[in-house]
Amino acid sequence: MTGPLVQARALRKVYASRRGIFGRVSHVRAVDDVSLEIAKGETLGLVGESGSGKSTTGRLVLGLEQADNGEVRFADAPMPSMGTQVWRTQRARVQMIYQDPLGALDKRLTILDQVREPLDIHDIGERSERDQRALELLRSVDLSAEHGRRYPGELSGGQRQRAVLARALATRPEFLVCDEPVSALDVSIQAQVVNLLCDLQDRLGLTMLFISHDLRVVRQVSHRVAVMYLGQIVETGSADDLFSAPLHPYTRALVSASPAPGRRSADRIVLQGDPPNPADRPSGCAFHPRCANALAACRVTQPTLSQPSATRSVACHLYADGQRSAA
């Protein structure tokens, strides 16, 4: 193997928004200088609160949006620009799972037709065998032929998400971006879909970018985790390390906020204030107004990613000199 399957370098995406007709145009840096690498067969979890740029990062990595800066490389080649023939052909190798499965399915086609669709688009296999292949795909996500004859409106949320998964897997993609795939499902169904995802990944050797705000799910699915805050990655590490010993104060707050049985709620870190407006980001470290451990430097200079150990990186002044001065 020559390198990571997916490689993103210094991605930046700026959206312009205007308030009212004559309002000033303000620029929102949805994603700001994000770099990440995903090795073949690995799952990278991407966590962060709403508006932190997780989904935009996912779309940039997938080539669904053009980055303003930086580049995405897939399998050692730059991502072709959107809408070209090369781009379309490449879609067979990269796929996406959406948060809202009902929205992602065409209400007027049966499930089987929709699962079959990628095969028709990319002209895979004999025409006559495609229905059979679509049925196999449905079976691999625990849906029956009977489900295949129904319309999306006639399935439950979990069944729809599994149908979307079957469609995404139809072309045997190498890379899958899951954008909050279980957030819209209730907890019992979540487990079902998450287990199925883990299963399929083991079986098919998928590489995944798993975007979620649910730390428990991310921990279960991911090998490595990256934490985003306001368009930037503040900490990365292997899933177990990161969740058992979070370094960045924001990660610590996130981890302590997710409920775990048998832990007293007294030592929870409760973040003060709202996430800042991305159009008007604080100076220095974007997290400093809410940070309990903020230093004087945090107000002024933006921390860069440092590597406390070989597998971890964190963007925080507390660890800038390579040692843990606060814990």
Partner 1 sequence: MTEVVVAHREARPRKAFWPALPVSVVVALGWIALMLLLACFSEIIAPYGFTKLDLRNRLAPPGTVGHWLGTDELGRDVLSRLVFSIRVSLLIAFGATIISATVGTVLGFLAAHFRGWVEQIVLMLADFQASMPFLILALAVLAFFGNSLPLLVGLMGLFGWERYARISRGLAISANAQGYAGAIRQLGARPSRIYFRHILPNIASTLIVSMTLVFPEVILLESGLSFLGLGVQPPMTSLGNMVGYGREYLTRAPWIMLCPAAAIVLTTLAISVIGDWLRDRLDPTLK
Chain residues binding partner 1 by CB under 8 A are: 62, 64, 87-92, 95-96, 98, 100, 103-109, 117-118, 121-122, 132, 135, 145-146, 149, 164, 167
Instruction: Give 104 or 193: the residue with its C-beta nearer to partner 1.
Output: 104
| Separation between Cα atoms, residue 177 and residue 168, nearest integer Å | 10
Instruction: Give 87 or 308: the residue with its C-beta nearer to partner 1.
Output: 87
Instruction: Give 121 or 294: the residue with its C-beta nearer to partner 1.
Output: 121
Q: Are 94 and 122 in contact (CB under 8 A)?
A: no
Shortest reach from residue 207's CB to partner 1, in Å:
17
Instruction: Give 36 or 104: the residue with its C-beta nearer to partner 1.
Output: 104
Shortest reach from residue 51's CB to partner 1, in Å:
17
The 3-state DSSP class for residue 107 equals coil
Shortest reach from residue 145's CB to partner 1, in Å:
5
Shortest reach from residue 55's CB to partner 1, in Å:
12
Shortest reach from residue 322's CB to partner 1, in Å:
42
| Separation between Cα atoms, residue 261 and residue 40, nearest integer Å | 34
| Separation between Cα atoms, residue 294 and residue 103, nearest integer Å | 42
Instruction: Give 67 or 105: the residue with its C-beta nearer to partner 1.
Output: 105
Given the DSSP bridges, would you call strands 69-74 and 77-78 parallel, antiparallel or unpaired? antiparallel
Shortest reach from residue 117's CB to partner 1, in Å:
7
| Separation between Cα atoms, residue 271 and residue 118, nearest integer Å | 45
AA identity, residue 267: D
Edge-first strand order for the sheet with 232-238 is: 94-97, 175-179, 207-211, 43-47, 224-229, 232-238, 312-315, 305-309
Return the structure tokens found at 131: 């229905």
Instruction: Give 145 or 296: the residue with its C-beta nearer to partner 1.
Output: 145
